[in-house]
Amino acid sequence: MEHAVEAIKKYKRFLVTAHVNLEGDSLGSQLAMKELLEALGKKAVIVDSDPVPGHYKFLPRADEVSNNIDKKLIFDAVIVLDCPTLRRIGRVRELLKKNKPIINIDHHISNERFGGVNWVHPNASSAGEMVYRLFKNMNVPITKEVALYLYIAILTDTGSFNYDNTSSITHEIAGELLGYGLDPALVSERVYEQRSVADLKLLGLVLSTLKLSDDGGAAYLVITRKMLKDTGVDVSRSEGFINYARSIEGVKIAALFKEDPKDRKRISISFRSKGDVDVNSLASCFGGGGHIKASGCTMEGSLSGVKNKVLSKIKEVLHGRNISFK
């Protein structure tokens, strides 16, 4: 952390960025970082490859997150938040210049140390928790807005304090942040209760495809192109659907097969595991990857062909026995 603090003190104008497909942590940690830098008398611009998702537009200053890759942008250093690899910042790579140092602040254990300064803290629940520590270390007062950004970062990245990145410290910080005048129920409504009727209709259709292996150790769901067309829902709204397959008692591996809405020969597959089953190596068998408990890959072929290949591999991973899905 000391090197990150030094670098922040040293430079004047910052480009702040994070990974593609913005969510609570990448967005909250960037907005809080901008406030930190401004409180220190610095200039900061947030540029991301993807837009702010609709349900986060209520955040103060969310409209200052730019998606404009303006090559004339002037800055002294780049702060990259919540990114294990530099590839994950997407189009913002075009703004990077050889002589502009990168400050890499991340909590992913797989972080590739791509920065000039690398503060990687895998025990932190979220990038937001790391930015919280910067506020404390640099004696910058936390405002209600900053508390909101950091609380949302922690809330969403811990799955409401249910994932294994939740610790006593996570709760201590969340408790302190609520103390700045946040209403947890109101935040929860804004973040989580923004579904559409079509989203729920799609969920209903996807749940009707649920299949369980005959030994109960694996379950899968399918999203077809037709379902997306019939409901008019964007496939990005299906985030979290796979957790329904994972939530079945006894299931160790859950899979979600998604037909690509545009490319008829492309299927993307998400994996989740419970207990100590490693779906990172499962996904890597098909050229994908991720974390031990959450991973994914993309394959070419028909839905049934891809399904057969993946389900055979799942059986192998689980116990090499010949199990079937019902």
Interface region with a second copy, contact rule CB under 8 A, candidates 69-77, 94-102, 133-141, 187-195: 187-195
Q: Is 24 exposed, middle or buried (0-12, 13-18, 19+ CB in 10 A)?
A: buried
Beta strands in 47-124 (DSSP E): 77-81, 102-106, 117-120
- The Cβ of residue 84 has, within 10 Å, a number of other Cβ atoms equal to 20
Nearest to 26 by CA among 127, 171, 168: 127
199-218 residues in contact with a second copy (CB under 8 A) are 200-201, 203-208, 210, 212
Interface region with a second copy, contact rule CB under 8 A, candidates 33-41, 130-138, 246-254, 295-303: 246-254
Radius of gyration for the chain, computed over Cα atoms and rounded to the nearest angstrom: 21
| Per-residue mark of binding to a second copy, 42-81 (x: CB under 8 A) | -------------x--------------------------
Which of 219, 222, 228, 306 is close enough to bind a second copy by CB under 8 A?
A: 219
Helix (H, G, I), strand (E, B) or coil at 15: strand
Instruction: Specify the DSSP element, H or E, that contains 223.
Output: strand 218-223
| Six-digit token string for 73 | 């942008």
CB of 189 to a second copy, least distance (A): 6
Does residue 195 belong to the site contacting a second copy (CB under 8 A)? yes
**Residue 202 near residue 226 (C-beta atoms within 8 A):** no
Which of 39, 69, 178, 318 is close enough to bind a second copy by CB under 8 A?
A: 178
CB of 236 to a second copy, least distance (A): 16
Does residue 255 belong to the site contacting a second copy (CB under 8 A)? no
CB of 269 to a second copy, least distance (A): 19
The torsion defined by the Cα of 245, 240, 255 and 22, in degrees rounded to 10, comes to: -170
What span, in angstroms and rounded, lies between the C-alpha atoms of 103 and 8? Answer: 9
Does residue 123 belong to the site contacting a second copy (CB under 8 A)? no
Which of 123, 196, 308, 324 is close enough to bind a second copy by CB under 8 A?
A: 196
Does residue 85 belong to the site contacting a second copy (CB under 8 A)? no
Does residue 325 belong to the site contacting a second copy (CB under 8 A)? no
Does residue 183 belong to the site contacting a second copy (CB under 8 A)? yes
Q: How many residues bind a second copy (CB under 8 A)?
A: 49
Nearest to 7 by CA among 102, 108, 129, 146: 102
Which of 172, 239, 300, 316 is close enough to bind a second copy by CB under 8 A?
A: 172
CB of 44 to a second copy, least distance (A): 29
Question: Who contacts 288 (Cβ-Cβ below 8 Å, separation ≥6)?
Answer: 269, 295, 296, 297, 298
Does residue 292 belong to the site contacting a second copy (CB under 8 A)? no
Does residue 143 belong to the site contacting a second copy (CB under 8 A)? no
**Residue 202 near residue 227 (C-beta atoms within 8 A):** yes
Give 289's strand partners: 296
- Binding-site ranges for a second copy (CB under 8 A): 55, 155, 159-164, 166-172, 174-176, 178-179, 183-186, 188-189, 192-197, 200-201, 203-208, 210, 212, 219, 244, 246-249, 274
